[in-house]
Amino acid sequence: MQENEYRSAYKSLNPHKCVFEKAINSRQCTCDASTRFNLADREGVACADALLQQRCTQYLETTREKVRFSLQLTQAKGPLPHAKEIRVQLASVSELHKLLDLGTGLPNIRESIATAIERFGDIEHFPFTEITKAVSQFPVRKKRQRK
């Protein structure tokens, strides 16, 4: 399948792309508002609700902006390079889950953001000091040595 055909089919199958797709596909967090699907040999994640997608997008964009300095970036508009994007997605959701004391197990993105909004009011009032520390300290997977 050509890459352009894949992207076209992906967009038609997935009108509400999950902004936390990388984190969910890493199997280190979940979202009860997401749906997985396969296209060719790749896995995609769709969001069940456009309103939830907007809330997650706002949280992720705000987080990127707040952690920009700790990731040594001059700007944080749009998706970051893959490794940094994974760090931001996984560390921010994991830390939010931990700070809200939502129990053990995999962090649930929708639950974490919804609970944080209930507790802190607005996304701008989330505890980004702790989230930034978690993102900067998040362990990066080492590159494999090719043989």
pLDDT tens, position by position, 104-144:
899 999 999 999 999 999 999 999 999 999 999 998 777 67
Dihedral sign, CA of 127, 128, 134, 140? positive
Q: What is the pTM of this model?
A: 0.85
Pairing of strands 34-39, 42-47: antiparallel
- On whether residue 147 sits in a domain, the answer given is no
Taking Cα atoms as reference points, which of 73, 122, 69, 90 lies closest to residue 25? 90
- On whether residue 91 sits in a domain, the answer given is yes
What is residue 39's three-state secondary structure?
strand
Q: Is 3 exposed, middle or buried (0-12, 13-18, 19+ CB in 10 A)?
A: exposed
Q: Does residue 71 surpass a pLDDT of 90? A: no
Q: How many helices (H) and strands (E) does the chain have?
A: 6, 2
Q: Which domain holds residue 34?
A: 3-137
- On whether residue 144 sits in a domain, the answer given is no
- On whether residue 15 sits in a domain, the answer given is yes
What domain count does the chain have? 1
- On whether residue 35 sits in a domain, the answer given is yes
- On whether residue 145 sits in a domain, the answer given is no
CB 44 within 8 A of CB 13: yes
